[in-house]
C-alpha cells in the first residue's frame, strides 16, 4: 500500500533518492483521453516556477513544458484512450496511463511520488501526496507537461469534430459543451460511460 503525506507544506524529497513525479490530467472531461506524465528532474538544471498546472496561465504553460522537457533528466508520457476509459472506468484508466508513463522512463527511480491519494502499482516504492503538484517540483513538472499535451490533443479534436468547442473547454462539462452535446449528439471523442453523454444517447434512442 502506498504511504500518504497529509500535511500541506513543501516536501523535502531528498530522503527518497532519485524521485519521479507523476501526475495525470483528464479525469473530469466528457471527451478525450486521460494523459499522464512522469518526470525525473535534473538537480544540476533547476527549473523555476514549477507548480500545479492549473495555477499557471495557458499562455505560459507551453514554454514551461518545453523547458521541463529540455532540462529534466528524463520524462515520459502515457495515456489511456476513450475506449479504455469506457471499458475500465476513468480511475482505473488514469492508473493505466500513469503506469505507462513510468514504464517509459529511461532512468529507474528509487521512489515514485504521485499527486493525489490513490496510486497504481508501479513495482517500485510509491508515495501518494495530496496536492503534490503544489508541494513537489517533479510532480508540478509532470502536471504541466501532461496538461500541455492533453490540451494539444483537444485542439486537434476540435478540428476533427467542429462545433463542440473542444479548443475552449478541453472536454470539460461546461454549459457550452453540454449545449453542443445536446444539439449535435456525441462524437467519437466522447466518453460513453459518463452520465451526461449517456443521457443524450438515451434521449436520441428514445426519439428514433
- The x, y and z cell numbers of residue 96, run together, are 493505466
- What pLDDT score does 206 carry? 53
Give the pLDDT score at 204: 84
Check if CATH label 3.40.50.300 holds for domain 3-159: no
Burial class (CB in 10 A: 0-12, 13-18, 19+), 118: exposed
Radius of gyration of the chain (CA): 18
Where in the chain are the domains? 3-159, 163-207
Cell of 49: 516556477
The DSSP annotation for 120-157 comes to ---SS-EEEETTHHHH-HHHHHHHHHHHHHHHHHHHHH
Q: Is the dihedral of CA 77, 82, 88, 94 positive or negative?
A: positive
Nearest to 21 by CA among 152, 123, 135: 135
Q: How far apart are CA 112 and CA 108, in angstroms?
A: 10
Q: Residue 1's pLDDT is what?
A: 45
pTM above 0.85, yes or no: yes
Dist. CA 22–CA 127, nearest whole Å: 10
Task: Extract the residue ranges of the chain whose pLDDT is less than 70.
Answer: 1-8, 52, 206-208
Amino acid at each position: 500500500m502506498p504511504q500518504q503525506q497529509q500535511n500541506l507544506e513543501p516536501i523535502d524529497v531528498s530522503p527518497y533518492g532519485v524521485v519521479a513525479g507523476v501526475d495525470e490530467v483528464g479525469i473530469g472531461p466528457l471527451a478525450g483521453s486521460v494523459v499522464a506524465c512522469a518526470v525525473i528532474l535534473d538537480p544540476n538544471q533547476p527549473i523555476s516556477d514549477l507548480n500545479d498546472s492549473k495555477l499557471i496561465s495557458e499562455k505560459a504553460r507551453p514554454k514551461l513544458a518545453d523547458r521541463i522537457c529540455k532540462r529534466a533528466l528524463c520524462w515520459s508520457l502515457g495515456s489511456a484512450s476513450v475506449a479504455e476509459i469506457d471499458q475500465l472506468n476513468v480511475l482505473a484508466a488514469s492508473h493505466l496511463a500513469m503506469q505507462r508513463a513510468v514504464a517509459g522512463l529511461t532512468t529507474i527511480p528509487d521512489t515514485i511520488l504521485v499527486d493525489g491519494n490513490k496510486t497504481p502499482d508501479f513495482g517500485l516504492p510509491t508515495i501518494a501526496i495530496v496536492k503534490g503538484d503544489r508541494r513537489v517540483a517533479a510532480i508540478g513538472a509532470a502536471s504541466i507537461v501532461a496538461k500541455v499535451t492533453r490540451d494539444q490533443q483537444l485542439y486537434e479534436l476540435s478540428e476533427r469534430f467542429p462545433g463542440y468547442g473542444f479548443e475552449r473547454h478541453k472536454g470539460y462539462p461546461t454549459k457550452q459543451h453540454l449545449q453542443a452535446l445536446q444539439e449535435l449528439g456525441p462524437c467519437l471523442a466522447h466518453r460513453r460511460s459518463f452520465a451526461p453523454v449517456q443521457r443524450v444517447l438515451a434521449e436520441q434512442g428514445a426519439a428514433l
